[in-house]
Amino acid sequence: MNTERKAGDRVEFEHGYAARIMGIDGTWQREVLLEDVSDTEAKLTVFGSTEEINLDEFFLVLSNWGHAHRRCERVWLNGDQIGVRFLKNVQQKPRRERKRPKFEM
């Protein structure tokens, strides 16, 4: 990520913003510090080991309840810092239509 080119589009946090990353299948989580963010990318500091987890694609969870999250892919890894790109329009399985009960009067 080129921070010079995108410096105007980025928000940098003076002390970071506490968040989590979580595997797509939910089998792993790590605490992270969100260092800076733009509409399309972010820089994170990961607490704990990154060796045993799949960082190719994961969720960045911004709230304790999981309501605010973004699907990400790793762009670069340097020690405990990773650069991520937010994924858009990820193909999802089509939802089944629910049959609504018919009420007769």
**pTM (2 d.p.):** 0.72
The string of DSSP codes covering 32-93 is EEEEEE-SSEEEEEE-S--TTS--SEEEEE-STTS-SEEEEEEEEEETTEEEEEE--S---P
* CATH number attached to the domain at 7-86: 2.40.10.220
| Whole-number pLDDT of residue 42 | 95
- Cβ contacts of 2-10, under 8 Å, gap ≥ 24: 3/36, 3/43, 6/38, 6/41, 9/38, 9/39, 10/36, 10/37, 10/38
| Whole-number pLDDT of residue 1 | 45
| Whole-number pLDDT of residue 41 | 95
Q: Which 3 state secondary structure label does DSSP give 7?
A: helix
Task: Give the start-to-end residue ranges of the domains of the chain.
Answer: 7-86
- Cβ contacts of 54-57, under 8 Å, gap ≥ 24: 54/23, 55/21, 55/82, 57/24, 57/87
Tell whether the model's pLDDT for residue 19 goes beyond 70. yes
pLDDT digits (tens, 9 = 90+) for 35-46: 999 999 999 999
Using only C-alpha atoms, the chain has a radius of gyration, in whole angstroms, of 17
| Whole-number pLDDT of residue 96 | 63
